[in-house]
Structures are given as structure tokens and as C-alpha cells.
Amino acid sequence: MENAPVHKDFKLAAYFIMIAAVVGIVRVARLYSGIEMLEQSDYLNLALYGVVIVLLLWLAMNILKGKNWARITFAVTALCILVTAPFVVLHEFASSLFLGSLSTVFGILLLIALLLLYSKGARQWYAEQLNNS
């Protein structure tokens, strides 16, 4: 499987994940930009955001290589994020239109990447790679 070129949907999904990570970084920077004193819970939230962004970037790099475990791990991670997204987005829209918009874009990018990774062409490509191994 290492020698075969990766399906275009895998590459495109990885790029969408990377863009989502950048949107996530901008969102976190904007969220904490006006705060002078961080509370203990803020540090925990920042650490969690950091772990999620690093995880997404690491998964994107492995998806670019056509790794199935990365595709599955991303699917689980994205679904966990997308299940809770409506609550976060509604809360953020209530406090800031910009933050709500960034969270919406972040979720949409993850959803697009997820759909690309499990598109018919991507599934067929991966099945062919398993058969050729």
C-alpha cells in the first residue's frame, strides 16, 4: 500500500482537516484574546483545544499517506466533535457572531472531510489496496 498513490479524496479530506485546524487556532486565539487573567478552567480548556488541534493535524498527515487507522480515528474524533457542536455553536453565537461563525466553519470542514474519506471512490480505492497487499 505504500507504493500506490493515495486517492484524491483522501488528499482533499486531509487538506480540509488542516484548514479546520487553522480555523480552530484562530477561534481559540480570538476566544482568549481579550482575557487578562485566565482561570484554572481556562487553562484546562486551552490544553484540550491544543490536544484536539494537534490530533487533527497528526491525523491529517497520516490520512495523506493513506493510513486506514487514521481515517477511522478521524471519523470517531469528528463524530464526537460534531455531536456536541450544536450546543457549542449556539452558545458562541449568543456571545459573538464571529466566534459562532468560526465554530460553524470548523464543523462544516470536519463534516466535508468525513464525507470525503468515506465516499464511494475512497472506499473502493482502499478496498483495492487491501486486495493488492
**Which tens digit of pLDDT belongs to each residue from 30-63?**
888 877 777 877 788 889 999 999 999 999 999 9
* Residue 89: pLDDT over 60: yes
Band the pLDDT of 3: cuts 50, 70, 90. low
Are the C-beta atoms of residues 115 and 74 closer than 8 Å to each other?
A: no
As a whole number, the mean pLDDT across the chain is 89
Residue-level pLDDT at 60: 97
Nearest to 118 by CA among 1, 9, 20: 9
Section 91-101 average pLDDT? 91
Q: Are 107 and 56 in contact (CB under 8 A)?
A: no
Q: pTM score, two decimals?
A: 0.89
The distance in angstroms from the start CA to the end CA of the chain is: 6
